[in-house]
Structure 1
Amino acid sequence: MTDTITARTVTIGSRDGTDIEAYLATADDAGRRGGVVVIHHMPGYDRSTKEITRRFAELGYDAICPNLYWRQAPGAEPSDAAAAVRAQGGVDDSQLLDDVAGAAAYLRGQEWSNGKVGVIGYCSGGRQSVLAACHLDLDAAVDCYGALVVGTPPPESNRPNLVTDLPSLGCPLLGLFGNEDRSPTPALVDELDQRLDDLGKPHEFHRYDGAGHGFFSPDRPSYSVSAANDGWERIETFYGTHLS
C-alpha cells in the first residue's frame, strides 16, 4: 500500500491507431510493479471509475482507464457520452479489444513496469474483461458481475455471449457475483463456472448472499459493504499472486 500517487489524464494510442483519452494513476516510489487496465461500466468514464483507478495505484500498481466513449463523444459529460454511445448500439467488441490492447501496451511501456498487466471490469465491463482475457496478452482478469458471458442474449442486445471465446481464455480469472443479481443470475454463474471447469481454465468465483448487481458502487442503493469489502480483499490477493 502507498498513500503517494499521481493521477492525470493522458492520451494513449489504441491498437487501431486512434488516439483516445485515458485516466492514469501511478504508485510513487513503489519499485517494479504490474499494471491494471480498468474497464469502466456502462455509465461511462466517470468519477467513481476514476476513484477505482486511483485505488489500484494505492495498492502499488500503475492503473489506467481508457475512455471507451472518446470516439463517439469526445469531451462530453459521462452521462451524455453514455447516452450517445447507447444510441449507437454500444461499444463494438473489436473497438474494446483495440482500446484495452493500447492501454496494456501503455502500461508495459512505463519505466517501472514488470511486464505484467491485469484487467478488471464491472457490469458491462465484466463481460468485456473476460473478452479481453480471451483475445489479448494479459496476466490476470477480474469479472465483477458481468452479464452475457454465457446464456442467451436478450432480443434487444447486439452483443453475443462469449461461449465460443472461452476456450481461448489465456489467464486466470477471478469472478465476483451477487446471489441476488438478475443479470447474471446465479444459474448463469453456475454455467460459466462449469464451462471453465470443463475447459480446464484456472478461475475462482466468489458469491455474496444479499448482494445484487452493482454491489461495488458506494454511490448506489445496490452497494453492499460486506460484499464490496470482501471483494476488494479477493482482488488484492488475486493480483498480488499474478501481477507481482
Structure 2
Amino acid sequence: MGSMVQITAKDGGTFEAYVARPRGGSGPALVLIQEIFGVNHLMRYQADCFAAKGFTVVVPDLFWRQEPGIMLTDQSEADWQRAFELFQGFDVDKGVDDIAQTVAYARGESSTGKVGAIGWCLGGRLAFLTAARTDIDASVSYYGVMLDEHLGEAGNISGKVLVHVAAKDDFVPPEAQAKIKDGLSGNPQVDLHIYEGCNHAFARPGGGNFVQDAALKADERTLAFLNETIA
C-alpha cells in the first residue's frame, strides 16, 4: 500500500499524488501517467507492482483542476461518459506542467537521480510530450492517442522513448499510425513496437481488449527499457 503526497503546481495550488515505495525504501523513480479514469485502483495497483520491482513510483492526479480524486473504471457506461467529459475538458499543456513538477519531486526521491515515465492512453500521449518538454530520462507510451499531432516536437526529445502501438487501435486510425511510424522511424531516441491484431488498451488487466501475450511482451520490453535507462 502506498501513501499520498502533495505536489505544488507551477501556476499555483497543489495536487495529490499516490506514492508507492520499494521494500528497501527507495529506488529509481517512476512517474505513472493515468488513463482517462483518474488515479484509480488499477493505477495504484500498477504503482504497487512497480514498487515491488524496486522502483519508487509517483502517480499524480492530473484531473485535479476539474475534479480532484477521480477514480473511475472501464466497467460502466456512466464511468465511460464521465471519463470522456474529463478527457475533453483536460488542458494538455497544464497537464504536462504538472507532470514536470512531479518529475522534479520524483527526482529528489530517486536512488539513482534518474526518473522515467510510463503512460497509457491519454497518459501515453502525455508520456510522449513529457519526453519532449521536460528533463525526464526515459519515457514509455502505451497506445498513446493523438501522437500524430505532436510529431513536430520529437526533435526536442533528449532522453530515451519506448512507444507501444496497437495495430488495430480504434482510437488511433491507420492514417495516424502511418504518420507516427514515419515521423519517429528516423529518431535515434525512439524505439517503436507494433502489436499486430491488438486494439486500444490491450495491456489493461481486466479490460475488454486485454491480450495477455501482447501485454506480457510489452511489459517485458518496458521493464528491460527502464533497467537500461534509469536503474
Partners of 1:227 and 1:20 in 2: how far apart?
A: 34
Using the TM superposition, name which of 175-184 and 215-224 deviates more. Answer: 175-184
Contact kept? 2:38, 2:70, Cα under 8 Å? no
Among candidates 14, 26, 29, match of residue 24 of structure 2: 29
Which amino acid counterpart does residue 44 of structure 1 have in structure 2?
G
1:97 is matched with 96
Letter aligned with residue 197 of structure 1: S
| 1:78 aligned onto 2:45 | no
Find the counterpart in structure 2 of residue 208 from structure 1: 195
Point out where structure 2 has 5 or more consecutive residues left out of the alignment. Answer: 74-78
2:227 alignment partner in structure 1: 240
The answer to whether the 8 A contact 2:39-2:69 is kept is no
Rounded Cα–Cα distance in structure 2 between residues aligned with 1:84 and 1:230: 28
Q: Is the 8 A contact 1:147 1:183 kept in 2?
A: yes
Distance 1:206 1:174 in 2: 8
Post-superposition shift, 1:17?
3.1
Write out aligned runs for 1:1-244 (5 A). Answer: 7-29=2-24, 33-75=27-69, 77-78=71-72, 83=82, 86=85, 89-110=88-109, 112-150=110-148, 161-198=149-186, 200-244=187-231
Q: Is contact 2:38-2:71 (8 Å) kept?
A: no
Question: 1:93 and 1:143 mapped to 2: Cα distance?
Answer: 15
Number of matched residues? 226
Q: Which amino acid is the alignment partner of residue 8 of structure 2?
A: G
1:18 Cα shift? 2.1
Q: 1:137 to 1:36 in 2, by over 3 A?
A: same
Deviation (angstroms), 1:83: 2.4
Aligned with 1:227: secondary structure? helix
CA distance in 2, matches of 1:196, 1:221: 29
Percent identical across equivalent pairs?
29
The 8 Å contact of residues 44 and 78 in structure 1, kept in 2 or not, is answered as: yes
Cα deviations by residue, 1:129-153 (Å, 9 ceiling, x for unpaired): 1011100001111110012111xxx
Distance 1:89 1:107 in 2: 28
- What SS does the aligned partner of 2:210 have? coil
Q: Which residue of 1 aligns with 2:76?
A: none
Asked if 2 retains the 8 angstrom alpha-carbon contact of 1:7 and 1:24, the reply is yes
Which TM-score applies when normalising by structure 2?
A: 0.88
- The amino acid that maps onto 2:124 is G
Richer in helix (by share): 2
Change (3 A) 1:92 1:235: same
Q: Shift of the alpha carbon at 1:187?
A: 4.7
Q: Which runs of 5+ in 1 are unaligned?
A: 1-5, 151-160
CA deviation after TM superposition for structure 1 residue 13, in Å: 1.7
In 2: Cα distance, 1:219 partner to 1:19 partner: 32
* 8 Å contact kept, 1:73–1:84: no
CA distance in 1, matches of 2:101, 2:122: 19
Helix, strand or coil at the partner of 1:97: helix
Partners of 1:231 and 1:173 in 2: CA distance: 14
Residue 38 of structure 1 contacts residue 120 of structure 1 at CA under 8 Å; is this kept in 2? yes
Taking the aligned partners of 2:91 and 2:172, their CA distance within structure 1 comes to: 20
Q: CA RMSD in A?
A: 2.3
* Letter paired with 2:221: R
Normalised to the residue count of structure 1, the TM-score between the two structures is 0.84
The secondary structure found in structure 2 opposite 1:174 is strand
